[in-house]
DNA sequence: TTGAAAGCGATACCAG
DNA sequence: CTGGTATCGCTTTCAA
């Protein structure tokens, strides 16, 4: 079993001190004779010794890292969130450990707990799976923070983007431009952010009795957008609300091929304000989403939990998107 | 120190057996009396016991996970590679642990080793930092696999995309269409894949004496592409080779605004064949890159290293891109 | 200031 | 088939 690197014992032997002393030196204890300390340091250096994180964590009862679980990495929205979390965590001296849950929703629970056990905490981003299961996981995984899940009083802090508000912003914008018939190109099956948008649609229909909104199948990527283009226009809508910017870009491309003028004949909106929405033809009206802030806030919650273990915080906070007007929307033609 | 969950000892006590037996049951040993096994299982269940991965790993000498270090997650190319690695690893019963190295190149080394120590191996993707440092890291981090680093005999398997070949493909294509003056919109500072492309440029200039290729500053995202558009056309080139598809899409958008017709006045090529290259105006001629295969292969190397520890494999393999013709390139106008 | 020894939570060998 | 015990590598009282 000893094919691994040098252990604290080897260093102790070489420096002719006890393991306890080596430990003290490695952890920068001041109560060590400078001469001895130096001897230990050079022994460690010459052996190329690195303390085992595993053993250290086991003994210390903490690892200095927290796990972030994401469903899959294709969603560009995740990168901004991850970026935010990483930066904040780094500042607090914590490492992040991204674990990709993968397609298999059934295996998700095991994945979560596995990741959690190597770390001091768990941040779940866009967790899928039934409410009950999530609840159970959260119980065992504390401290945990949930990002972007419909919050129905889960036993953990829940942060999310207010997708309903975002879509409402876009709908109101189109309505104010005179549109009375819209289409919503929906997200993929099981997307956590789809239901709130559908709620925005319902709410808008209540608010504006003369408004009509058809829902058509969409998806998550540019190809889904291409495919949805024809169904969307065939509804006769003058405004198309698309699940996100990526899908919208695909849809715009197809509309272009079909010779449908945007925004002349139909207006199109996206969601997320990704870089690309500047570069589509025409540039995309969308809502900007504070993913980065969301990430930072998620870390803040985690940091708080780490600081005072035991307390069960249940902060619920949602972040509001902002309208970003570009060329893809305009008055409905008379 | 005992604020953690139940330990194997608690289960043993409740089931009135030894810890050894509990361990056997938890690991599915067949040599356990069914009755006892059942007693243990229910004890474990009632305590909600989960074996500590940390302790388990320490004892076992293996963790069942390998670390994958990436510079940052914004590069869409990484996702495909990660996807490939993940799928393959999963099949072998290994978990992946993605660690984001972050901006700070100085801290990269520490990051690598830290990640490595929590895992059985380390896969470095697009590692930056000087050759010497990388070499040193690899020494300590074995088993390790390097992806996409200029391979100059590092002490580890090195897999990479043959960027030089890819750009050569595109250059030859443009040349065969009659172009004699090209521009190369370069990648960001320090991008590992930029030097090989510059080599492709040099090589092409040798092969085609009457060819001219100007190099202009580019970058990594759509905005860099927008910014580069004017310099690129002002060279007077009839064909623009762009660092990657994302940058190319940005450049196309700006050209459109400037009223430059593509491919009428100038041809444009990308690199990577991302989904989006179907949806630009016009659709982008590019090269398809087998990122997914690369990821799978990286895992295969890692799996081999894990299987027979000690041997130092130094496989060097590079993956060739394939030309993908679309509408953004055409004969140079007479 | 230093060292001996008792954990941390599990695995695995060796008897019984 | 089961239990006692050494072990993994490190930290941390507690004495000396």
pLDDT score for B223: 96
Domain boundaries, chain A: 8-60, 65-161+291-320, 163-289
Note the pLDDT tens digit of each residue in B84-134: 999 999 899 898 989 888 777 778 888 888 889 889 999 999 988 888 889
Contacts of A143-150 with C-beta under 8 Å, sequence gap 24+, read A143/A302, A143/A305, A143/A306, A143/A309, A144/A116, A144/A305, A145/A121, A145/A298, A145/A301, A145/A302, A145/A305, A147/A81, A147/A123, A147/A294, A147/A298, A148/A192, A148/A193, A148/A294, A149/A124, A149/A192, A150/A192, A150/A195, A150/A196
Which residue among B100, B117, B256 places its CB closest to the CB of A98?
Answer: B100
Q: What pLDDT score does B182 carry?
A: 98
Quick one: B163-289 is in which CATH superfamily?
A: Response regulator (3.40.50.2300)
pLDDT at B1: 40
Q: Quick check: pTM over 0.85?
A: yes
Give distance CA A157 / C1' D9 (Å).
Answer: 36
pLDDT tens digits for range A260-269: 999 999 999 9
Provide the mean pLDDT of chain B.
Answer: 92
**Is B260's Cβ below 8 Å from some Cβ in A?**
no
pLDDT over threshold 60, residue A3? no
Contacts of A309 in chain B (CB under 8 A): 3
Q: Do B250 and A65 touch (CB under 8 A)?
A: no
Taking 70 as the threshold, does the pLDDT of residue B161 lie above it? yes
- Residue A99 has what pLDDT? 87
Domain spanning B65-161+291-320, CATH class: alpha beta
Taking only the tens place, the pLDDT of each residue in A284-315 is 999 999 999 999 999 999 999 999 887 889 99
Does A54 sit within 8 Å of B57, measured CB to CB? yes
The gap from C-alpha B259 to its chain's centroid, in whole angstroms, comes to: 37
Per-residue flag: A234 CB under 7 A of strand D: no
Domain A8-60, CATH? 1.10.260.40
**Predicted pLDDT at A111:** 84
User: pLDDT tens-digit profile of B267-310?
Assistant: 999 999 999 999 999 999 999 999 999 999 999 999 999 998 77
Q: Is A58 on the interface with B (CB under 8 A)?
A: yes
Which residue is the nearest neighbor of D13, CA to C1'?
A: A20
Chain A residues whose CB is inside 8 A of the B113 CB are 50
Q: What is the pLDDT of residue A1?
A: 40
**Are A97 and B102 inside 8 Å of each other by CB?**
no
| Closest Cα in chain B to A80 | B74
Mean pLDDT of B178-194: 93
Find the mean pLDDT for residues A205-214.
97
Is the CB of B334 within 7 Å of strand C?
no
**A8-60 and A65-161+291-320: identical CATH topology:** no
Tokens for B279, please give them. 């949806």
pLDDT score of A227 more than 90 = yes
Verify whether the Cβ–Cβ distance A57 to B54 is below 8 Å.
yes
């Amino acid at each position: 079993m000893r094919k691994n690197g040098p252990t604290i014992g080897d260093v102790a032997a070489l420096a002719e001190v006890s393991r306890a002393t080596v430990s003290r030196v490695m952890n920068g204890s001041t109560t060590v004779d400078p001469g001895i300390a130096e001897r230990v340091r050079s022994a460690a250096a010459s052996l190329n010794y690195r303390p085992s994180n595993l053993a250290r964590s086991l003994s210390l009862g903490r690892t200095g890292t927290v796990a972030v679980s994401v469903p899959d990495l294709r969603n560009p929205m995740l990168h901004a969130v991850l970026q935010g979390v990483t930066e904040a965590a780094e500042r607090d001296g914590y490492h992040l450990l991204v674990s990709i849950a993968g397609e298999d929703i059934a295996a998700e629970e095991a994945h979560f707990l596995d990741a959690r056990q190597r770390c001091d905490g768990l941040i779940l981003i866009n967790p899928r799976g039934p409410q009950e299961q999530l609840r159970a996981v959260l119980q065992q995984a504390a401290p945990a923070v949930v990002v972007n899940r419909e919050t129905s009083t889960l036993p953990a802090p829940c942060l999310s983007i207010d997708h309903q508000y975002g879509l409402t912003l876009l709908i109101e914008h189109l309505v104010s431009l005179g549109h009375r018939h819209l289409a919503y190109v929906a997200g993929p099956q099981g997307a956590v952010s789809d239901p709130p948008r559908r709620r925005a649609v319902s709410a808008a229909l209540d608010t504006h009795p003369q408004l009509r909104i058809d829902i058509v199948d969409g998806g998550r990527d540019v190809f889904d957008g291409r495919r949805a283009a024809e169904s969307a226009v065939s509804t006769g809508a003058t405004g198309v609300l698309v699940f996100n910017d990526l899908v919208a870009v695909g849809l715009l491309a197809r509309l272009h091929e079909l010779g449908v003028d945007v925004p002349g004949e139909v207006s199109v909106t996206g969601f997320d304000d990704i870089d690309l929405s500047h570069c589509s033809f025409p540039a995309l009206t969308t809502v900007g989403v504070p993913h980065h802030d969301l990430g930072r806030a998620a870390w803040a919650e985690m940091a708080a939990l780490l600081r005072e273990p035991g307390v069960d915080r249940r902060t619920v906070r949602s972040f509001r998107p902002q309208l970003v007007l570009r060329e893809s929307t305009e008055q409905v033609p008379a």
